[in-house]
Chain A
């Protein structure tokens, strides 16, 4: 059964810093991995989807990498802004080609102006 772990649980940085959020998963037989953003009391916004054949994906100031062999993914946020403050969730398929996602507990990011 897939298990997803995210570290750190919380992170507070000053505006403008570059930062890295970490995600690890136990079952590397995944076909993709997805990063989400969740604002308090809100739903999930999909940030980046990395297919198993890709090593990284970029969207604006966000860059996500995937290393299946080591069971790790990172989300890099460049030049952080206060509006980036949210909880960031990593999700991997439960088993191989399953559509069911297993989520980490998330990293709560606070960017201070």
Chain B
């Protein structure tokens, strides 16, 4: 199947700093990628849709100025958590849909963010 790579797999940062997470589709092009967040013992919740060459669309309740998304190419989307706070600590995971695979979604490995 298609491969989506996410980096880093874990990061610890100080409160107030910014953290960038990368999501790459390795063997296919993705005009659209998705960013999800998962809190402990909760289901994955969609944060935003990353669109290549245009602005991301955010789900209700997600601060676009805090979670900056850039989809600079057909294989790379980045999520930057700006001015991170302890409540932003979570598991962030991206996905891309492999269209020629019948619309199957493939996910990255996820990034565990801990803000101290």
| Chain A interface residues (CB < 8 Å from chain B) | 4, 31-32, 34, 36, 41-46, 49, 51, 89, 91, 94, 99-106
Kindly list chain B residues whose C-beta atoms are within 8 Å of the C-beta of A99. Answer: 32, 34, 49, 97, 103, 105
Q: Are B43 and A43 in contact, with the CB atoms below 8 A?
A: no
Known: A41-B112, A42-B110, A43-B6. A101 touches B34 (CB 8 A): yes
Supply 5 further A-B pairs (C-beta < 8 A) apart from A43-B93, A99-B103.
Answer: A34-B105, A43-B109, A44-B93, A46-B106, A99-B34
A32 vs B107: C-alpha distance when bound (angstroms) = 17
| Chain B interface residues (CB < 8 Å from chain A) | 1, 6, 32, 34, 41-46, 49, 91, 93, 95, 97, 101-110, 112
Q: Are A49 and B102 in contact, with the CB atoms below 8 A?
A: yes
Compute the total of residue contacts between A and B using a CB distance below 8 Å.
64
Kindly list chain B residues whose C-beta atoms are within 8 Å of the C-beta of A44. Answer: 44, 93, 95, 107, 110
Kindly list chain B residues whose C-beta atoms are within 8 Å of the C-beta of A102. Answer: 46
Q: Are A32 and B6 in contact, with the CB atoms below 8 A?
A: no
Minimal beta-carbon separation of B107 from chain A (angstroms): 4
Kindly list chain A residues whose C-beta atoms are within 8 Å of the C-beta of B105. Answer: 34, 46, 91, 99, 101
Known: A99-B97, A105-B43. A42 touches B109 (CB 8 A): yes
Q: Which of A42, A45, A100 contacts B34 (CB 8 A)?
A: A100
Q: Are B34 and A43 in contact, with the CB atoms below 8 A?
A: no
In this complex, what residue of A is CB-closest to B96?
A99
Minimal beta-carbon separation of B85 from chain A (angstroms): 22
Q: Are A105 and B42 in contact, with the CB atoms below 8 A?
A: yes
Among A34, A89, A94, A99, chain B packs the most CB atoms within 10 A around the CB of A99
A91 vs B103: C-alpha distance when bound (angstroms) = 13
Q: Are B108 and A43 in contact, with the CB atoms below 8 A?
A: yes
Q: Are A100 and B46 in contact, with the CB atoms below 8 A?
A: yes
A8 vs B43: C-alpha distance when bound (angstroms) = 14
Across the A-B interface, the 8 shortest Cβ-Cβ residue pairs: A44-B107, A43-B109, A43-B110, A103-B43, A105-B43, A49-B104, A103-B44, A43-B107
